[in-house]
Amino acid sequence: MKMEKTETKVENAKPASSANEAKEIVVRASDASISMKHSMAICNFIKGRKINYSIKFLEDVIALKKAVPMKGEIPHRKNIGAGRYPVKAAGFFIKLLKNLKTNAATRNLDVDKLMIHAKADRAPRPRKPGKYHRKFKRTHLEITGKLK
């Protein structure tokens, strides 16, 4: 009978340990020197999509094959409407998404089942000393990968 009790304890311990595993992974970047408008447009586009699809799309943006949809007074592009090619912001997002992908692999999470939630926030904008006090672009980014 003692053998049966130890077996049941081991079986009960396995679901508890799997429940404690992380169901989401977060990657943050603070004070990124990219445009707030571009980063918000990219976040809105990749939200709810898979990591691999988002990386391929942003690589096409850098190659000027696909444009990121944006709102406002922006010229129309083929097959998407109003959009632009934010190359610098797309490169920054690719680095973060690849980092998120490797973190998921190290925590033994299925990369194909992760859905992206991304947000961009304003960061304090430092001034350059001088006659006109030019302000720099700064953005805080947070990308979360959640299991379905």
**pLDDT at residue 75 greater than cutoff 60:** yes
Question: To the nearest whole percent, how much of the chain has pLDDT over 90?
Answer: 49
- Distance (Å) of CA 114 to CA 51, 53, 66, 93: 7, 11, 23, 16
Q: Which residues pair with 27 in a beta bridge?
A: 143
**pLDDT at residue 10 greater than cutoff 80:** no
**Rounded mean pLDDT of the chain?**
82
- Distance (Å) of CA 84 to CA 88, 120, 129: 12, 18, 32
**Which pLDDT does position 118 carry in this prediction?**
93
Burial classification of residue 82, based on how many CB atoms lie within 10 Å of its CB (0-12 exposed, 13-18 middle, 19 or more buried) = middle
Pairwise CA distance, residues 35 & 137, whole Å? 6
**Which pLDDT does position 100 carry in this prediction?**
93
Pairwise CA distance, residues 145 & 116, whole Å? 5
Out of 2-16, 49-63, 88-102, 121-135, least confident range: 2-16
Going along the chain from its start, the domains and CATH numbers come out as 36-147 (3.90.470.10)
Compare 87 and 75 and report the one with higher pLDDT: 87
Q: How confident is the model at residue 22 (pLDDT cuts 50, 70, 90)?
A: low
